[in-house]
Amino acid sequence: MEESIPLRLSILGHPQRLAVFRLLMRRYPDRVAAGEIAAALGIKPSTLSSYLSALTLADLVTKTREGTWQRYQINMTATRQTLDALYLDCCRGRPDLCGPTADPDMKTDMETDLNSAPTSFVAVDTSQPRPYNVLFLCTGNSARSIFAEAILTNLAPGRFRTFSAGTTPHTAVNPVAAEMLKSKGLWREDLHPKLIQEIIDSGAPKFDFVFTVCDQAANEECPAWEGQPISAHWGMPDPVKATGTEAQKSLAFQQAYGVLHRRLRAFAALPLQQLDLISLQHAVDGIAQDHDEDKP
């Protein structure tokens, strides 16, 4: 394994290969089609093919065939091995030099509030000093992320402070989405599309959780959030883009709402204060995978 580390570092030293790797990391645990990667990064298919071949050769990325498509996924085992090798070799395993909490200011709000022990320890404090701050991101911020913001607030009032934003937000909440929330008693007048920067500039709190609910938003470069929040990709189809009859379009919104409600119900049920941060990250990653059968 040690002999593969220089190869992996060399391959990741190329800016565009690194960009491909970073995109797949943001989409993990998704398997992403090569065409989608090329479109997201503006790379010619032939050039991308060589980048993916190099990443696959270094065992940083795996590929699977689904019909006529080749789909790519981060090899998380090899990635962790590479990072561990750097940590143990270059840093001699010293968390004060290379650990994410070497700088006290880098600790997450959740870790500071819930437990002063290192992140690998289980939190035993059963008190909750403040609500958890949760951000939902998508492209237009007119349906899916708005649904998520409203649903989680309703599922656990007072336990979570919810926000949503978009990378290229629409001017208003989609009317079908708005009517659906009204019919379920979840509509609020303050629900409206917002640009990510608007969230940052408005003095929003440090987030404990950041979820992307569409693939396009996960493909894009987003700002690094303060406090190292738990992040996960819960991609799902955009009901706004549904085609067909009015009934079929309405069904797409119902399905999107249903999937998010089931995922968020599972999230709200997690024993957040009894899980260490690594276990919590695995749990939120797994929620979307566990509900794959619910995807429209």
Residue 112 confidence class, pLDDT cut points 50, 70, 90: very low
Please tell me which residue, 69 or 120, carries the higher pLDDT value.
Answer: 69
254, 198 Cβ separation under 8 angstroms: no
* Residues 36-90: tens digit of each pLDDT: 899 889 999 999 999 999 999 999 999 998 888 889 999 999 998 898 888 777 7
For the chain, the average pLDDT equals 83
Please tell me which residue, 85 or 100, carries the higher pLDDT value.
Answer: 85
β-pair partners for 138: 166
What pLDDT does 111 receive? 46
HSE value, Cβ hemisphere, 13 Å, CA-based, for 161: 9
What pLDDT does 198 receive? 85
* Residues 236-257: tens digit of each pLDDT: 889 999 988 999 999 999 999 9
**Yes or no: is domain 4-77 CATH 1.10.10.10?**
yes
Task: State the CB neighbour count (10 A cutoff) for residue 175.
Answer: 9
Residue 225 confidence class, pLDDT cut points 50, 70, 90: low
What distances in angstroms separate CA 251 from CA 50, 147, 229, 293, one per listed residue?
41, 15, 33, 16
What b/e readout covers 191-226, taking b as 16+ CB neighbours within 10 angstroms? Answer: bbbbebeebeeeebeebbbbbbbbbbbbbbebeebe
Pairing of strands 69-74, 32-33: antiparallel
Is the pLDDT confidence value at 115 over 90? no
Listed by start position, the domains of the chain span: 4-77, 132-294
Residue 294 confidence class, pLDDT cut points 50, 70, 90: very low
Residue 105 confidence class, pLDDT cut points 50, 70, 90: very low
What pLDDT does 98 receive? 72
132-294 has the same fold as 4-77:
no
What distance in Å separates the CA atoms of residue 32 and residue 22, rounded to the nearest whole number?
13
Is the pLDDT confidence value at 286 over 70? yes
Architecture, CATH, for domain 132-294: 3-Layer(aba) Sandwich (3.40)
Is the pLDDT confidence value at 175 over 90? yes
Please tell me which residue, 143 or 90, carries the higher pLDDT value.
Answer: 143
2, 85 Cβ separation under 8 angstroms: yes
Q: Cα Rg for the chain, rounded, in angstroms?
A: 20
Q: Is 62 left (phi over 0), alpha (psi -120 to 50) or beta?
A: beta
Is the pLDDT confidence value at 260 over 70? yes
For 44, the 3-state DSSP assignment is: coil
Percentage of the chain with pLDDT > 70? 81
Please tell me which residue, 36 or 224, carries the higher pLDDT value.
Answer: 36
Residue 117 confidence class, pLDDT cut points 50, 70, 90: very low
Is the pLDDT confidence value at 103 over 60? no
Output DSSP code: residue 214.
Answer: S
pTM: 0.68
Please tell me which residue, 38 or 296, carries the higher pLDDT value.
Answer: 38
The pLDDT of 278-287, averaged and rounded, is: 88
What distance in Å separates the CA atoms of residue 204 and residue 148, rounded to the nearest whole number?
18
The pLDDT of 151-167, averaged and rounded, is: 93
What distance in Å separates the CA atoms of residue 76 and residue 2, rounded to the nearest whole number?
16
* Residues 177-196: tens digit of each pLDDT: 999 999 999 999 999 999 98
The pLDDT of 203-216, averaged and rounded, is: 85
What pLDDT does 97 receive? 67
Distance of CA 91 to the CA centre of its chain: 29
Q: What angle do CA 78, 8, 288 make, to 5 degrees?
A: 40
295, 259 Cβ separation under 8 angstroms: yes
What pLDDT does 221 receive? 63
165, 141 Cβ separation under 8 angstroms: yes
